[in-house]
């Protein structure tokens, strides 16, 4: 008896080891069948088993009865004047997330989401203001990459400039390490040479500072690590990044250095959004330099991208340049991120998606369910 559509296993979210176990348990098949499936689904972009012509017809029919290749539905697509593309993807009947592709002369970066909404409550982030609904499954995370590759290929076939995804960053909606159980297998699929074959330096996982999960990641997976720092001292970071009240800066930095030591990594990238009159003063730059000087660290200064309802203002260009120069002069590598996709609300910190029936969560405590009239 075949399984219903809802009961079928979505193979899009199974890394190689789990896929091998699945075909062995369900069909008594050898591991090479899993390798074939990985290549068809991820490398060739197959959306149905009937496309997999080197698999026996009987095996394909058996697969269709118990498995599926289900990707999120594209609700809307926008293109920026600078070539940035943003997709709103339907996760279920009422929830949506956003995925962004950013083209550069030497790379193509896909910014993917890991949750519907976010519970970290960082006041300068549009996603955080929506509250949190749920974690994305591994298939929903990988599905963003699968869809983006298909859409970019279709655009190139239609005459647009050919683009490819060379880098994937977990910097979209949500806190990746708060969805560890699904982000980890998704990351393994991105790194697999039979799937997307991305190098460990081309997959970046960004976190606001969940220290225990950073220690777990040090044992489980080797990718580039980015940390949303945004303040040089605990008093200020407590206000801007509330998870700091649970895991202060010293504890966070110790976890970062442990991760690099364990995974033989080159450096940690620290993200620092520039907020006028809040964290952009020369003394803040000097405090940062004292924290990071002599460490394997890079600082990425991000001009704040405003959104409706925010209390914050972007630092003036002169202040950002002066901040960078102080850091560089004191021996800390600091660069300024170029703002991309601002005309389609695709810039850093602007992703809003569609979070309904949400719960406002702060540091793991459910506060209140958002009223219907407040839902986007």
C-beta atoms surrounding 352 within 10 Å: 20
* Residues catalogued as catalytic: 98, 348
- Taking alpha carbons only, the member of 347, 353, 340 closest to residue 305 is 347
Question: Tokens 């330099």 map to which residue?
Answer: 289
Distance (Å, whole) CA 46 – CA 348: 31
Q: Which of 247, 170, 261, 169 minimizes the C-alpha distance to 209?
A: 247
Record the tokens describing residue 106, joined without a space: 């030497």
Tell me the three-class secondary structure of the chain, residue by residue: CCCCHHHCEEHHHCCHHHHHHHHHHHHCCCHHHHHHHHHHHHHCCCCCHHHCCCCCHHHHHHHHHHEECCCCEEEEEEECCCCCEEEEEECCCCCEEEEEEEEECCEEEEECCCEEECCCCCCCCCCHHHCEEEECCHHHHHHHHHHHHHHHHHHHHCCCCCCCCCEEEECCCCCHHHHHHHHHHHHHHHHCCCCCCCCHHHEEEEECCCHHHHHHHHHHCCCEEEEECCCCCHHHHHHHCHHHHCCCHHHHHHHHHHHHHHHCCCCEEEEEEEECCCCCCHHHHHHHHHHHCCCCEEEEEEECCCCCCCCCCECCHHHHHHHHHHHHHCCCEEEECCCCCHHHCCCCCCCCCECCCCEEEECCEEEEECCHHHCC
Q: What is the pLDDT along the chain (376 residues), one digit of tens a residue?
A: 344 446 899 999 999 999 999 999 999 989 999 999 999 999 999 999 999 999 999 999 999 999 999 999 998 888 888 889 999 998 887 788 989 999 999 999 999 999 998 888 888 887 777 778 899 999 999 999 999 999 999 999 999 999 999 999 999 999 999 999 999 999 999 999 999 999 999 999 999 999 999 999 999 999 999 999 999 999 999 999 999 999 999 999 999 999 999 998 889 999 999 999 999 999 999 999 999 999 999 999 999 988 888 889 999 999 999 999 999 999 999 999 887 555 545 455 445 555 554 544 444 444 444 443 333 3
CATH fit for domain 73-369, picks 1.20.1050.40, 3.40.50.12780, 3.20.20.70, 3.40.50.300: 3.20.20.70
Handedness of CA 316, 320, 323, 329 (dihedral sign): negative
C-alpha 221/C-alpha 303 separation (Å) is 31
Distances (CA, A) of 170 to 57, 79, 204: 38, 21, 6
Radius of gyration of the chain (CA): 21
Euclidean distance between the first and the last CA atom of the chain, given in angstroms as a whole number: 42
The CATH number given to 5-68 is 1.10.150.530
- Per-residue pLDDT of 249-281, as tens digits, reads 999 999 999 999 999 888 999 999 999 999 999
Decide: 165 and 104 in contact? Cβ < 8 Å.
no
Domain boundaries, the chain: 5-68, 73-369
Question: Cα separation of 57 and 273, whole Å?
Answer: 54
């Amino acid at each position: 008896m075949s399984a219903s559509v809802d009961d079928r296993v979505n193979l899009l979210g199974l890394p190689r080891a789990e896929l091998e176990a699945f075909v062995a348990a369900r069909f008594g098949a050898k591991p090479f069948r899993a390798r074939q499936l990985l290549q068809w689904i991820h490398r060739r972009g197959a959306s149905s088993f009937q496309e997999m012509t080197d698999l026996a017809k009987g095996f394909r029919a058996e697969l269709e009865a118990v498995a599926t290749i289900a990707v999120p539905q594209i609700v809307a697509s926008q293109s920026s004047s600078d070539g940035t593309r943003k997709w709103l993807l339907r996760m279920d009947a009422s929830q949506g997330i956003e995925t962004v592709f950013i083209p550069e002369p030497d790379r193509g970066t896909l910014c993917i989401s890991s949750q519907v909404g976010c519970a970290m409550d960082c006041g300068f982030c549009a996603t955080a203001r929506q509250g949190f609904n749920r974690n994305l499954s591994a298939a929903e995370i990988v599905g963003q990459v699968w869809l983006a590759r298909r859409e970019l290929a279709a655009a190139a076939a239609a005459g647009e400039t050919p683009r490819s995804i060379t880098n994937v960053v977990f910097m979209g909606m949500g806190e990746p390490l708060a969805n560890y159980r699904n982000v980890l297998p998704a990351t393994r699929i991105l790194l697999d040479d039979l799937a997307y074959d991305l190098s460990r330096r081309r997959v970046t996982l960004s976190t606001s500072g969940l220290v225990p999960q950073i220690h777990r990641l040090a044992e489980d997976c080797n990718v580039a690590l980015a940390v949303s720092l945004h303040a040089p001292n605990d008093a200020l970071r407590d206000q801007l990044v509330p998870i700091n009240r649970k895991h202060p800066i010293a504890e966070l930095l110790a976890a970062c250095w442990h991760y690099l030591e364990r995974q033989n990594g080159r450096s940690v990238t620290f993200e620092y959004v520039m907020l006028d009159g809040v964290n952009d003063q020369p003394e803040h730059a000097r405090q940062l330099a004292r924290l990071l000087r002599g460490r394997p660290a890079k600082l990425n200064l991000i001009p704040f991208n405003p959104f409706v309802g925010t209390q914050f203002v972007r630092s003036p260009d002169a202040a950002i340049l002066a901040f960078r120069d102080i850091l560089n002069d004191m021996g800390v590598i600091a660069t300024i991120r170029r703002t991309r996709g601002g005309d389609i609300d695709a810039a850093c910190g602007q992703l809003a998606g569609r979070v309904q029936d949400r719960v406002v969560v702060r540091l793991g405590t459910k506060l209140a369910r958002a009223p219907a009239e407040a839902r986007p």
